[in-house]
Amino acid sequence: MASKRSRIPLIIAIIVVIAVIAAGLGYYYYTSKLSPTPTITPTTPKIEKVVIGIVQPLTGNYAIFGQEAVNAAKLVVDIINNELGGVRSLGGAKLDIVVEDAGTSPESARLAAEKLISQYHVPIIYGAYISRFTLAMGTVTEQNKVILVTDALVDDLSRQGWMYFFRVAPQASSHGVSAVDFVLDEAKAHNVTIRTAVIINEDSIFGTTVSNGAHLELAKKGVEVLAHISYPYDITDMSPIVDQIKRLNPDIIIAIPYFSDGVLFAKTAKAAGLNPVFIAGAGACGFTDPDSIKAAGDAVLYYTNTYSYNPAKPTDWNQKLVKEFERRYGKMPTEAAGEMFYSLFTIYEALEKAGQMFPDDPLNPDHLRQAFLSLDLSESNSIAAQLYPTGRIKFAPNGDNLYAGTAVLQVQLINGTLTPVVVWPQPQAGVQAIFPRPGT
């Protein structure tokens, strides 16, 4: 009995081995009857989608920009995936975006970038609109060799020696320069002499950089700057500043506001009867955007501001995006949306290029970098360039766009409605700049 029981495990083991051998033989017999399998050559894995990380301020004082930028991103991604068929050189890979809130400090922006890199392994991050947030984020993206395409404008960002940094939009200082050039161009065209100016700016690094650009340009062009006044952007009383400007009596005022302070300045200036030859905004915030016009009413009539984007540019793709943005979100796209339009399309075109140049490893950071640097986009060959004010996009080694430029919008009364219209460098159809301010 005992010997019989001890043999059973052995019998089971022999049966299992015979079954395995039989199965193996059977499989070999079956597959040998199929067509000869082709020799497997190494192929690159198919890329189903490319995830772009987006870091924007969605809470806090800068949420105005972030919310608009994210809306624009969703629109562009829809178009690229559904109308253009995704990134063709990557086998039709779809674009996907993951949005993180930059929060209210450089530290929170940095953490947002870290999360995108560690959790989603994004090859490209776009953001973060606010320059000091972007500076903090850039240390993370550079360290991790992630391409950073920014919508932040402060000049210093492209002087960090970063290799994986690109900026399609114009630098902050060029906004100040454009505001001055526009005013002096118009003054010359209307035989008006401009001798003196006052500059006022909100005192963040952005406002300061734009105003310094304006100050230098005024000095270069021989206009005396009577005062250069900085103030905190959350100022609740503009009357001391307006009173000071009235006493100085300059020919022109160059103003670099944020939003609320811009409305407050315009209303206070109107109440005080301040009416110089011209009041020109710079830096794309305040005065001429739809929300500032709604809040300030005719206090902002004839004010101008510089923008990194021209919503009236008459190219097919620009008009298409503007119309679709207005349909979806009920308002005209302004600075943040415009920057997202052409930057995201530039990213798309860089991915196409990377897929053509480096089919085996297109998302390698150094390959992507080379793809960005190889871009030479113009309106005839590129959607991104059709969306850009100057119609040209080509990157310098430091990542800035060699053909960066701005547009100037002015608030005019069109059919009884306060409307922002493009007046410089090429006025939109049927429009010209109103200069000087009536009543001066």
Partner 1 sequence: MTPLDLLVAVVQQVVDGVFLGLFYAIVASGLALIFGVMDIINFAHGDLIMISAYFTWLLSMNLNLDPLLSMLLTLPILFLIGLGIQKGLINPVLGKEPLIQIAVTVGLGFVLQNIALGYFKAEPKGYPAPLFSGGFNLGPFVIYESKLVSAMVSLAVLILLSRFLAKTKLGLAMRAVTDDRASAMLMGINVGRVYLLTFAIGMVLIGVAAGLWMEMGQVTPYLGTSFSLVSWVAVALAGLGSIQGLIISAIIIGVAQSLGSLISPSIQMAVVYLIFFFILWFKPRGLFARR
| Residue 326 touches partner 1, criterion: CB under 8 A | no
**Which residue stretch of 8-16, 177-185, 271-279, 373-381 sits at the interface with partner 1 (rule: CB under 8 A)?**
271-279
Q: What's the min distance (Å) between Cβ of 254 and partner 1?
A: 16
- Residue 92 carries which DSSP code? S
Q: What's the min distance (Å) between Cβ of 174 and partner 1?
A: 25
Q: How many other C-beta atoms are found inside a 10 Å radius of the C-beta of residue 363?
A: 19
Q: Closer CB to partner 1, residue 24 or residue 232? A: 232
Residues in binding contact with partner 1, number by CB under 8 A: 42
Among 111, 229, 301, 423, binds partner 1 (CB under 8 A): 229
Q: Are 424 and 433 in contact (CB under 8 A)?
A: yes
Q: What's the min distance (Å) between Cβ of 240 and partner 1?
A: 4
Distances (CA, A) of 188 to 35, 175, 192, 249, 354: 82, 20, 6, 21, 47
| Residue 59 touches partner 1, criterion: CB under 8 A | yes
Q: Are 276 and 253 in contact (CB under 8 A)?
A: yes
Q: What's the min distance (Å) between Cβ of 408 and partner 1?
A: 21
Among 220, 221, 294, 328, binds partner 1 (CB under 8 A): 294
The three-class DSSP label of residue 302 is coil
Contacts of 131 (CB under 8 A, 6+ apart): 152, 153, 154, 156, 157, 172, 205, 206, 209
Measured CA to CA, the distance from residue 303 to residue 256 in angstroms comes to: 12
| Residue 61 touches partner 1, criterion: CB under 8 A | yes
Q: What's the min distance (Å) between Cβ of 263 and partner 1?
A: 5
Q: Closer CB to partner 1, residue 44 or residue 249? A: 249
Q: How many other C-beta atoms are found inside a 10 Å radius of the C-beta of residue 264?
A: 22
Among 48, 107, 224, 243, binds partner 1 (CB under 8 A): 243
Report the site for partner 1 in 183-212 (rule: CB under 8 A).
Answer: 203
Among 50, 111, 218, 263, binds partner 1 (CB under 8 A): 263
Q: Are 98 and 53 in contact (CB under 8 A)?
A: yes
Distances (CA, A) of 33 to 37, 40, 332: 11, 19, 66
| Residue 298 touches partner 1, criterion: CB under 8 A | yes
Query: Which of 93, 147, 84, 83 shows the shortest CA–CA distance to 359?
Result: 93
Q: Where are the beta strands (DSSP E) in 308-358?
A: none
Among 54, 64, 284, 354, binds partner 1 (CB under 8 A): 64
Cα dihedral angle (412, 415, 418, 419), rounded to 10 degrees?
-70
| Residue 105 touches partner 1, criterion: CB under 8 A | no
| Residue 234 touches partner 1, criterion: CB under 8 A | yes
Q: Closer CB to partner 1, residue 94 or residue 270? A: 270
| Residue 395 touches partner 1, criterion: CB under 8 A | no
Q: Which residues bind partner 1 (CB under 8 A)?
A: 59-64, 67, 203, 229-232, 234-237, 239-241, 243-244, 246-247, 259-260, 263-264, 267-268, 270-273, 289, 291-292, 294-299
